[in-house]
Amino acid sequence: MADKVIIVDYGMGNMWSVFSALRFLGCSPVISSDADQVAAADTLILPGVGSFRKAMEALEMHGLDQALREAVLVRKRKILGICLGMQLFAEYGQEDGDHRGLGFISGSVERFARDELGALKVPHVGFNHVRSSPDSVLFNGIASPSDFYFVHSYRLLNSGLPGKPGLCHYGIEFLSAYEYENIFATQFHPEKSQTNGLKLLNNFLAA
């Protein structure tokens, strides 16, 4: 927990809420958009709200995509992607035209399809149940299922991934959390999920 925690700021999303939740847990994170600082970080958090394409362009513009690949794939530092941050981990995103992602999770981010939703509305907004994998690090000490706060229109599916999935059902079963080696991700917002979310963030910091 003494490691330096960097929240990556690329102009997309609610840095303050993530920052405040970490502060509440006794951690002193740094908000940074500096590629060198990100590449050298021990622990990274990639939040984000908005469109996949705009977010990737913003990361690329600041050289943050390469910095993140360096820290995560080469230096094997732990990272938590939140909401759009998780989606950016994928290989591709279809929002706003196809765009390449960071490639930490194999798969493509696609919009909830009409035929899988029936009468359900897009975006998927509100608290929903997440079923975690039994030996999950992120969900350690959190009951399964537990409620977490979602707000998204695009999702990843759990198909042929090597790591531990957390699953949520909204018309279709989708990937609501993921962990594999040093890569951690949640489609929901732990910083907006009351005590369940605080516990999950605390687990990530302790991982």
Partner 1 sequence: MLSRNFRLQRVGNLEWLQRNYNFSHIAFFIDELIVLDVTRGVRDTLAFCETLKSLAAGCFVPITAGGGVRTIDHARQLLRSGADKIAVNTPLFERPEFVRELVAEFGQQCIVGSVDLKRNREGGYQIFIESGSQSLGDEPASALSWLTQEWVGEVYLNSIDQDGTGQGYDLAMLNQLPSRCSVPVILAGGVGNGTHLAKGFADPRVDAVATAHLFNFVGNGLECARESLVKQGASLAVWPTLVDLGLKPNG
Q: Please give the residue ranges that form the binding site for partner 1 (CB under 8 A).
A: 1, 14-17, 20-21, 23-27, 49-51, 121-123, 125-127, 141-143, 146-147, 149, 151-153, 189, 191-199, 202
Whole-angstrom distance, CA of residue 15 vs CA of residue 36: 19
* Residue of 62, 83, 168, 179 marked catalytic: 83
**Residue 62 falls in the annotated catalytic set:** no
Least distance between partner 1 and beta carbon 69 (Å): 27
Q: Give, in order, the Cα–Cα distances in Å from 15 to each of 75, 106, 121, 136.
A: 24, 26, 27, 26
Q: Distance between terminal CA atoms of the chain?
A: 9
Number of C-alpha atoms within 13 angstroms, CB side, residue 165?
Answer: 15
CB 100 within 8 A of CB 69: no
Judged by beta carbon, residue 78 or residue 192, the one nearer partner 1 is 192
Judged by beta carbon, residue 71 or residue 155, the one nearer partner 1 is 155
Estimate to the nearest angstrom the gap between the alpha carbon of 34 and the chain centroid: 20
Judged by beta carbon, residue 37 or residue 128, the one nearer partner 1 is 128
Least distance between partner 1 and beta carbon 14 (Å): 6
**Residue 91 falls in the annotated catalytic set:** no
**Residue 191 falls in the annotated catalytic set:** yes
Q: Give, in order, the Cα–Cα distances in Å from 175 to each of 90, 155, 159.
A: 12, 7, 9
Least distance between partner 1 and beta carbon 77 (Å): 21
Q: Which two tokens stand for residue 43?
A: 């622990």
Least distance between partner 1 and beta carbon 166 (Å): 16
Judged by beta carbon, residue 17 or residue 106, the one nearer partner 1 is 17
- Active-site positions read 83, 189, 191
